[in-house]
Amino acid sequence: MSLALYRRYRPETFAEVIGQEHVTGPLQQALRNNRVNHAYLFSGPRGCGKTTSARILARCLNCEQGPTPTPCGECQSCRDLARNGPGSIDVIEIDAASHGGVDDARDLREKAFFGPASSRYKIYIIDEAHMVTSAGFNALLKVVEEPPEHLKFIFATTEPEKVIGTIRSRTHHYPFRLVPPGTLRDYLAEVCERESIPVEDGVYPLVVRAGAGSVRDSMSVMDQLLAGAGEDGVTYAMATALLGYTDGALLDDVVDAFAAGDGAAAFEVVDRVIEGGHDPRRFVADLLERLRDLVIMAAVPDAAEKGLIDAPADVVERMQGQASVFGAAELSRAADLVNAGLAEMRGATSPRLQLELICARVLLPAAYEDERSTQARLDRLERQALAGGLAAVTAPAPVPPPAGQPSVGYVPESDAHAGGPVEARRPAPPPPPPAEEQPSRRTPGAWPVGTQAPAGAQQEAPRQARQPVPAPSAPSAAAAPSVPSVPSAPVGDPSRVRQMWPDILEAVKNRRRFTWILLSQNAQVVGFDGTTLQLGFANPGARDSFVGGGSEDVLRQAIGDAFGLQWKIEAIVDPSGGGNGGGAGPGPGGPGPRPVTPGSASAPAPRRPQPADPDPAPPAPSAPEAAPPPPPEPQRSPEAAAPEPPPPVPIEEDIPEEDDPDLDDTALSGHDLIVRELGATVIEEITHD
């Protein structure tokens, strides 16, 4: 029958003792200097090398070449005190747990004065010294204080505070420590290599964790795994099943569910834990260990290289991805909640219920009003904003104003593609629709526009009849205003792309509102060569948000799904005309930004008055095609050459008078016109050079 693993590999010299260099170094130096004390006290956790170091010290003292820090291993004393030796009559080990009374102390005192049989010193190793009674320590006090020259005492204990002070004050105290995980893992790997049994890398962290820093406990666990190893050696699945640890896949699933806020996935993992026969409390402890690793990895990205995290390379890679989708406050809050839940699970009658409550608390930061929960909510909102998941918060659906209230900042849903969302404090100026689509200035619920109908023909086109601007080559599209037409694929024509831009924005809006807001407020079409669509952004921040936030792929997919076109997207910074919703810009094929009339509520007051463009004569109702197009103006946009509108419908209740200020652009302007038309208060006035 083979010996236990921790007995076969028990150290025989101080050089073989691992993790206790702060003890073995001074002891070896004391042996070199021949300044060995008469009594020593070794204290520390179990299995960290106290008794082994006491035997090595006795071997060094009684070696024929000693006292020496490295025993020869050949003399009779070294062979007797070797790993599998018979023992020496001059080195006496006493278990104080069964020999700690006053009678045992008196018997030891009587025998201690006899000299050694064949060695240099007579050495007493008293293990579990804290079990010696006060009377027994008092009986030993005189011999420990003034021993004969041939007598040495070594006390080993896990509780040094229980050793009476009069004994502690007469010894040299060396506190042993738990072995670091990295050192212990390397030692276990070396032992398994000597045993010629393959072990997967994921097994060592489990064994080190089970041993809790104790070399003897870790060797016992590894001995158990090696005894049950098959042809493939010790596998990760075998170790988790035998040691009762949670499988890493379950931890990955529940952490991913916390990151995504997916309650269904989190509670499904809980069900798998219970149905798999796992201990809920062990699962919570393992989850807390994983969150600890994520907290450290989020703060120190190279924690694995620095030894702060002990895990295989594939597990470290997965944890790096998990830490990247969490915020520091959110991870810290989750760890605190799991830690508090673990304390509550002690003695709980329903562990599953406690586990489900822990998951619910982690998933609902909005249910708490403390600072940590607020920071966790901010982390989640920032993460969703970067991923484009805040469309509902950033651009909520517009709500019509109550009857009789001014419609400040309200754009109907059907007109949203024309000008983008309206900000509360500073509305973005929407591009004016073509001439045939411009409503009357007094259309309720819409932004007033500066273009007025010919004298005596004030009209209002029905909102339901609005359609995208048709191509100049298709004038018959105006005959069916309720059915929007899809423009044909342009070939190197930026003006055609600008006409298609409202429909493109509408397709983008259906896919991702965040991208729609970014494009409608900050981007414009500045060029198109048939395969590459060039967009100009008002500032570098908007351009970087478009390129780095996934909006470029959304726009490309929207164009492909809606029009069957595969275009390349090129984003540039063009501060001269960005933010007009994709209208005519300064790029090739289009003039600069369109002038905004003073009557528009979303436009700033102009610095100098602009003469009103002469409006063409109204076409005859019977033959709209025969009406000649208006003469081109150098300041008009390409949309001015659109087909003629349907026959106008006169409005009987709004007949303009000769002195009506609506017909005179110079009657009111700036603040007065905005206040009169909208009943609004001007917060800030922006001027354009």
**If 0-12 CB within 10 Å is exposed, 13-18 middle and 19+ buried, where does residue 117 land?**
exposed
**pLDDT at residue 299 is higher than 60:** yes
More confident position, 296 or 550: 296
pLDDT at 664: 47
Domains of the chain with CATH codes: 5-175 (3.40.50.300), 181-243 (1.10.8.60), 248-387 (1.20.272.10), 409-448+486-594 (3.30.300.180)
pLDDT digits (tens, 9 = 90+) for 192-228: 999 989 999 889 988 998 898 899 999 999 999 999 8
More confident position, 384 or 622: 384
CA distances, 195 to each of 8, 128, 213, 331, 345 (Å)? 11, 32, 22, 41, 41
* Rounded Cα gap, residues 602 and 426, in angstroms: 8
pLDDT digits (tens, 9 = 90+) for 646-667: 555 444 444 444 454 444 444 4
**pLDDT at residue 506 is higher than 90:** no
**If 0-12 CB within 10 Å is exposed, 13-18 middle and 19+ buried, where does residue 110 land?**
exposed
pLDDT digits (tens, 9 = 90+) for 324-333: 888 778 888 8
- Grade residue 673 by pLDDT with cuts at 50, 70 and 90: low
pLDDT at 405: 46
Q: Determine the residue type at 25.
A: G
- Grade residue 639 by pLDDT with cuts at 50, 70 and 90: very low
* Rounded Cα gap, residues 507 and 57, in angstroms: 82
**pLDDT at residue 248 is higher than 50:** yes
Angle at 182 between CA 177 and CA 188, to 5 degrees: 95
Average per-residue pLDDT for the chain: 74
454 CB contacts (<8 Å, ≥6 apart)? 615, 616, 617, 618
More confident position, 576 or 508: 508
More confident position, 84 or 637: 84
Give the number of other Cβ atoms within 10 Å of residue 265's Cβ: 15
Phi, psi for residue 192 in degrees, rounded to 5 = -65, -35
* Rounded Cα gap, residues 622 and 191, in angstroms: 101
**pLDDT at residue 603 is higher than 60:** no
- Grade residue 384 by pLDDT with cuts at 50, 70 and 90: low
Strand extents, DSSP E, 72-220: 91-95, 122-127, 151-157, 172-175
Mean pLDDT of 1-16: 87
